[in-house]
Amino acid sequence: MSKQSASTLFPTYGRYPITIVKGKGSRLWDENGKSYLDLMSGLAVTGLGHSPEGIKQKLVEQLDELWHVSNLFHVPQQEKVAQMLVDNSCADRVFFCNSGAEANEAAIKLARRYHQKVLGTGKYEIITFHQSFHGRTLATLTATGQDKVKDGFLPLPEGFVYAPYNDVEVLEKTISDQTCAIMLEMVQAEGGVIEADKDFITEVARLCKQYNLLLIVDEVQTGLGRTGKLFAYEHYGIEPDIFTMAKALGSGFPVGAMLGKEFLADAFTPGSHATTFGGTPIAMAAALATLETIIGDKLSERAAQLGEYILQQLKEKLKDNGLVKEVRGKGLIIGIECAGPVADLIQAIHQQGVLVVPAGPQVIRLLPNLLVTIEELDEGIAVISQVLTAQAAASVS
């Protein structure tokens, strides 16, 4: 292949054979004009659909005012977004960044620094869980409980140990005199759409108090209404010391945030942590408009109702399908676990004009936007059911 015809991009993605050029609401169009129903939302990023008018208007207004200013100056827009987040969560303080991985990096650093600089314990280990996913930086991929993301990146940073998800007995045995925090997702999205048991989370919170550990909740994919609550931790009657978010916060514009309790503020003093692009006026315009829409229009409640509808419809249509082991989910994050690999099934669903994504090798994941209509959901459910029914019949014959 000549240099002119070869891609100049690193081949880090196993891309689908689709080139998207336009999006509006729940619809995407490829370069040939084919329309797709988007039930993956850019991996939970376009939570209000594609090109939402309210967000677009706020971005255009901000573009005429100021694009970027160093965090060495006051950024009033940050204060507005932070106040809205604090008013609608258990947090007291906010740090803005650009992505989920950066938010989780900030959480890891804050947990270590609190123990080392404020408490003086010197503790640094963080317990995470098998099948978790926390990011692609060296620290966050080490925190991730999946070996596949770590291949070829040795040596990995010290300070992470792993326990089985939903297993309190093993978790308590994993706690050592170096443990400073426990970090987990309420729903393991990349790990197969696995929901935390309520009793497990209650015990995790108890162990954190008993051993003076910080509780960190990764809300990067589950936050901002996706699970039927503004934040997934709200389903469990606990309050994390630290939690993180990104993805849907900017409706497609890169925004991340790490939030924490007031007592942690002494650990993040001037110069201890920073970012060049985090919390720019443009990013904050997108985040503020997004939050106003999700909170003001009660889209969390809507997600809960639509999620129940999807589960009921899929379970009914797939109840006798030999390929399907389980349909599960919380709000608008749904997993269809199959008896074998789903890569070919996903490709077949795409060919029928519906975009879904895997969650591990044997789970089809649906992540519709929070404004998706019942009619759009019915369309997607029909296509998914038809493809899985046809494949089940073909495997029997």
Contact 196, 166 (CB under 8 A): yes
Burial tier of 188 (Cβ tally within 10 Å: 0-12, 13-18, 19+): buried
For the chain, the 3-state helix, strand and coil shares in percent, each to the nearest 5, are: 40, 20, 40
**Structure-token pair, residue 353:** 């004009």
**Strand order, beta sheet including 35-38:** 20-24, 27-30, 35-38, 354-355
Q: Looking at this protein, which amino acid is placed at residue 280? A: T
Parallel/antiparallel/unpaired status of strands 160-163 and 125-129:
parallel
Give residue 4's pLDDT: 54
* Residue range 160-216, pLDDT digits in tens: 999 999 999 999 999 999 999 999 999 999 999 999 999 999 999 999 999 999 999
Interior/surface letters 58-91, b for 16+ CB within 10 angstroms, e for the rest: bbeebeeeeeeeeeeeebebbeebbebbeeebbb
* Residue range 315-355, pLDDT digits in tens: 999 999 999 999 999 999 999 999 999 999 999 999 999 99
Give residue 24's pLDDT: 98
250 pLDDT exceeds 70?
yes
Parallel/antiparallel/unpaired status of strands 179-184 and 125-129:
parallel
Alpha-carbon distances of 88 from 83, 230, 232, 234, 377, rounded to whole Å: 9, 8, 13, 11, 29
> What pTM, to 2 d.p., does this model score?
0.96
**Which domains are assigned to the chain?**
20-51+298-396 (3.90.1150.10), 66-296 (3.40.640.10)
**Structure-token pair, residue 207:** 């162990």
* Residue range 22-36, pLDDT digits in tens: 999 999 999 999 999
- Cα distance between residue 101 and residue 82, in whole Å: 19
Q: Which residues pair with 248 in a beta bridge?
A: none
CA-CA-CA-CA dihedral for 222, 225, 231, 232, to nearest 10: -50
Helices (H) and strands (E) in the chain, counts: 11, 17
Split at pLDDT 50, 70, 90, the class of 1 is very low
Q: Looking at this protein, which amino acid is placed at residue 126? A: I
In a 3-state reduction of DSSP, which class is residue 201?
A: helix
- Cα distance between residue 63 and residue 387, in whole Å: 44
**Structure-token pair, residue 367:** 């992540």
